[in-house]
Amino acid sequence: MTNDWQQTACILCECNCGIVVQLDGRTLAKIRGDKKHPASKGYTCNKALRLDHYQNNRNRLTSPMRRRPDGGYEEIDWDTAIAEIAAGFTHIRDTYGGDKILYYGGGGQGNHLGGAYSGAFLKAIGARYRSNALAQEKTGEAWVDAHFYGGHTRGEFEHAEVSVFVGKNPWMSQSFPRARTVLNDIAKNPRRSMIVIDPVLTDTAKMADLHLRVRPGTDVWCLAAMAAVLVQEDLCNEEFLASHVSGADVVREVLRDIDIDDYAHRCGVDPELIRAATRRIAGADSVAVFEDLGIQQAPNSTVCSYLNKLLWILTGSFAKRGGQHLHSSFGPLLRHSTDVGRTPVTGAPVLGGLVPSNVVPQEILSDHPDRFRALIVESSNPAHSLADSGACRVAFESLELMVVIDVAMTETARLAHYVLPAASQFEKPEATFFNFEFPRNTFHLRHPLLDPLPGTLSEPEIWARLVRALGVVDDAELRPLRAAAEAGLDAYAVAFMQAVSANPMFGKVLPYVLYETLGPTLPDGLAGAAALWGLAQNVAQAYPDAIRRAGHRDGNALFEAILTNRSGVTFTLHEYADDFALIRHADRKIHLDTMPELLEEIRRLPDVPTQYTTAEFPIVLSAGERRPFTANDILRDPSWRKRDVEGALRVSVEDAQELGLVDGAQARITTPAGGAMATVEISETMLPGHASLPNGYGLDFTDEAGAVRIPGVAPNSLTSTQWRDEYAGTPWHKHVPARIESIH
């Protein structure tokens, strides 16, 4: 085992905390936090210590696979795979049109860099439609953000006087730097407060000063009541509203009519507790708010996003230390646009440029002439992660062409015509574009720790080979840029701008051009980082003062700093007043009155059902709870779990008594979409009528003896594509009507 500690990052949640690793051959033998990382500063949770279970998964693929007519798979060489796949997509484009090709993915929690190259192939082939995991969570919030101020906000919880978590358990799901350290600091400081809105007594809720324990799916009435308290008790920050907000009077008119006591009754929270929490928010110097999947995958999710943002907008907690902030972005994950596109078959809303995941099967299983006929999946497992996985399997099997790029033979890969084996996240340069912090925002290019496993390729190389196979760029056209790259970044920048202006195809396949010309000149096997040069130029143009404050002269200097600082860099350093400049409206104000349809939804709340359970399905199931030993699908090896090995079905004490459930025994859970057997865990954290299953289970795995194991329940065997938000199409994974029966 080498004694050298090498810098990299955890890839199991959006924080991507910096870690250092000691290798023993190809094993990640020792792992600890990287104290030099500018965001995480040595912090990490227990999950990072299990990363070797990802790197050395026995289910790793080491050869391209092609499906045989009998449904089995055969190994083929890379040249054959690339040629046949390129020909297949060319046939789809020429026969039906490139817009009949859907792309799903773009990276998991830490491998966004490979996905940056997909656009070159997709544009060259004429593909228009994309989807990924964000379309199951964040598109409704992003649409509200686009209307309000045109970008994404993040709370500065490290310094907030009051932190509010709505459907969010950061003790378990992290999502902002050093989450547990920050939560402990809040809990220990008598001058600070934590408010949690959640039906579950989560780890974070146990630390909270005020826990508004709403009934499942009723967050919208709680949030509306809180916003109404601000208006009806004259707690709004009038100076802030007058200077920085337009349309506030229209919103206040709607909120004045709300019966706060009635809404408190609907959500199951004492009205005085709602008033106390709201007054604490209004009286604070700074407030930071975080909404997450607990409301984003439940009824009225887009309306909830609208309402919870009012808590900090009406109180003016913006552009100040400890408040809510807009932030710089290194690479956009979705478009913050007010435009609403439509899918070709069902006419479902396309927000942020993403097709709602819930309609994907319907967009395929149709005789509509514009249905999707081909699918590319990159570093994602939609056959397992999308609602109604059974319908997804049927849809994917009907496609004329399906290609999966992944490190393992996933549930989705086993439905594909071709499977291309990718190098792991520790065998190639990688990065995340989850860069959301303010005033300091950071970016971390991870250098490869290991050579790619023989037979695998990095995603940038896979996409480059596919673009080459299309023949859309003559190699001779790239030679001047290759020569300029050898002369240095300044010479390359001049030559690049000239080449893109002169050759329209270069503009379509920019990542490919960068990889083929700048990539070979980069050191330490970092050819895959070439696309970051273009993004660094964009960052320098968008935030010139902020990158200079962070110590970078221009885009080239920023790119060089990214290449050489193995623990990551601060790429922008903002001042608090910059928040207003980051608002995209011409008047630099927050606009509250540009979504009349959501204001009408708030007016209609007295007539909206507070529950969707029935006598047949009386329990609300939350499918996909995060727990200490859950992670996304990339950790397929169940041996990393030290407890909750089977992913227990958590039920309340009251439901266990009524249904005759026994802790540790088996029960059957049934929903309109399907049924499964699960191990019962009786827990005081659950309200009566509420149960939960964890995420990351139900994945098959071949153990050392060669036996195939499938521990736990695949939660989306129980969810439905029909239960989704009206505006964003996001699924109701956290609100599935269910029935639980004891097995004797």
pLDDT band per the 50, 70, 90 thresholds, residue 666: very high
Structural domain contains residue 724: yes
Residue type, 201: L
For residues 72-84, average pLDDT: 98
Answer with the one of 307, 326, 345 that is the final residue of a domain.
326
Mark whether 199 and 316 lie in a shared domain: yes
Report the first-to-last Cα separation within the chain, whole angstroms.
51
Mark whether 623 and 674 lie in a shared domain: yes
pLDDT score of 127: 97
β-pairing, 324-326 vs 27-33, is unpaired
Mean pLDDT of the chain: 96
Contacts of 317 (CB under 8 A, 6+ apart): 284, 286, 287, 288, 323, 324
Contact 709, 703 (CB under 8 A): yes
Mark whether 707 and 724 lie in a shared domain: yes
Q: Kindly write down the DSSP assignment for every residue of 85-139, as one continuous string.
A: HHHHHHHHHHHH-GGGEEEEES-SSS--TGGGGHHHHHHHHT--EEE-GGGGTTH
Q: Residue 359 is encoded by which pair of tokens?
A: 């309609």
Mark whether 103 and 177 lie in a shared domain: no
Q: Is the pLDDT of residue 209 over 80?
A: yes
Q: Residue 626 is encoded by which pair of tokens?
A: 């995060």
pLDDT score of 110: 77
Mark whether 309 and 363 lie in a shared domain: no
Q: Is the pLDDT of residue 330 over 90?
A: yes
pLDDT score of 193: 98
Q: By residue range, what is the domain housing residue 241?
A: 154-326
pLDDT score of 133: 93
Q: Which range is least confidently modeled, 66-70, 517-521, 554-558, 626-630?
A: 626-630
pLDDT score of 335: 82
Structural domain contains residue 439: no
Contact 344, 368 (CB under 8 A): yes
Whether the upstream peptide bond of residue 439 has omega within 30° of 0, thus cis, is yes
For residues 190-195, average pLDDT: 98
Query: What would the 3-class secondary structure string for 436-467 be?
Result: CCCCEEEECCECCCCCCCCCCECHHHHHHHHH
3-state secondary structure of 554: coil
Q: Is the pLDDT of residue 475 over 90?
A: yes
pLDDT score of 402: 98
Rg of the Cα trace of the chain?
25
What is the C-alpha to C-alpha distance for residues 367 and 687, in angstroms, rounded to an integer?
A: 45
Q: Is the pLDDT of residue 143 over 80?
A: yes
* Residue whose C-alpha is closest to residue 534's, from 520, 548, 513, 551: 513
Q: Is the pLDDT of residue 317 over 90?
A: yes
pLDDT score of 552: 98
586-589 contacts, C-beta under 8 A, 24 or more apart: 587/246, 588/244, 589/244, 589/245, 589/246
3-state secondary structure of 25: coil
pLDDT score of 536: 98
Answer with the one of 421, 437, 465 that is the final residue of a domain.
421
Mark whether 17 and 99 lie in a shared domain: no
pLDDT digits (tens, 9 = 90+) for 91-115: 999 999 999 999 999 877 778 998 8
Alpha helices (H) in 488-634, listed in sequence order: 489-502, 504-508, 510-517, 531-542, 544-549, 555-564, 578-582, 596-603
Q: Residue 177 is encoded by which pair of tokens?
A: 């730097």
Q: To which residue do tokens 């969810």 refer? A: 719
Structural domain contains residue 583: no
pLDDT score of 314: 98
For residues 234-253, average pLDDT: 98
For residues 682-691, average pLDDT: 98
Mark whether 295 and 338 lie in a shared domain: no
pLDDT score of 545: 98
* Residue whose C-alpha is closest to residue 15's, from 442, 479, 611, 533: 442
Structural domain contains residue 128: yes
Structural domain contains residue 231: yes
pLDDT score of 58: 84
What's phi and psi for 45, nearest 5 deg?
Answer: -100, 180
pLDDT digits (tens, 9 = 90+) for 183-192: 999 999 999 9
Please state the pTM of the whole predicted model.
0.96
Instruction: Report percent pLDDT > 70 for the chain.
Output: 100
Residue type, 83: A
Contact 20, 7 (CB under 8 A): yes
3-state secondary structure of 358: helix
What is the C-alpha to C-alpha distance for residues 61 and 422, in angstroms, rounded to an integer?
A: 8
| Count of structural domains within the chain | 4
Structural domain contains residue 454: no
* Residue whose C-alpha is closest to residue 569's, from 701, 435, 479: 435
3-state helix, strand, coil in the chain (%, to 5): 40, 20, 45
Mark whether 265 and 160 lie in a shared domain: yes
DSSP 214: P
Structural domain contains residue 281: yes
Mark whether 317 and 342 lie in a shared domain: no
DSSP 340: -
CATH number at residue 271: 3.40.228.10
pLDDT digits (tens, 9 = 90+) for 390-434: 999 999 999 999 999 999 999 999 999 999 999 999 999 999 999
For residues 304-331, average pLDDT: 97
pLDDT score of 712: 94
What is the C-alpha to C-alpha distance for residues 164 and 490, in angstroms, rounded to an integer?
A: 46
For residues 474-488, average pLDDT: 96
Q: Residue 94 is encoded by which pair of tokens?
A: 């020429």
Q: Is the pLDDT of residue 144 over 80?
A: yes
Instruction: Report percent pLDDT > 90 for the chain.
Output: 92
CATH number at residue 684: 2.40.40.20
CATH number at residue 120: 3.40.50.740
pLDDT digits (tens, 9 = 90+) for 15-50: 999 999 999 999 999 999 999 999 999 999 888 989
Answer with the one of 302, 326, 350 that is the final residue of a domain.
326
What's phi and psi for 258, nearest 5 deg?
Answer: -80, 135
pLDDT score of 111: 84
Mark whether 296 and 348 lie in a shared domain: no
pLDDT score of 333: 84
What is the C-alpha to C-alpha distance for residues 10 and 18, in angstroms, rounded to an integer?
A: 6
Q: Is the pLDDT of residue 377 over 90?
A: yes
Structural domain contains residue 6: yes
Q: Is the pLDDT of residue 709 over 90?
A: no
CATH number at residue 19: 3.30.200.210
DSSP 591: E
Mark whether 342 and 298 lie in a shared domain: no
DSSP H or E segment with residue 620: strand 619-625
- Beta strands in 188-267, from DSSP E residues, in sequence order: 193-197, 210-212, 245-246
pLDDT band per the 50, 70, 90 thresholds, residue 550: very high
Q: Is the pLDDT of residue 744 over 80?
A: no
pLDDT digits (tens, 9 = 90+) for 149-191: 999 999 999 999 999 999 999 999 999 999 999 999 999 999 9
pLDDT score of 639: 86
What is the C-alpha to C-alpha distance for residues 521 and 488, in angstroms, rounded to an integer?
A: 9
DSSP H or E segment with residue 282: helix 271-282
Mark whether 282 and 370 lie in a shared domain: no
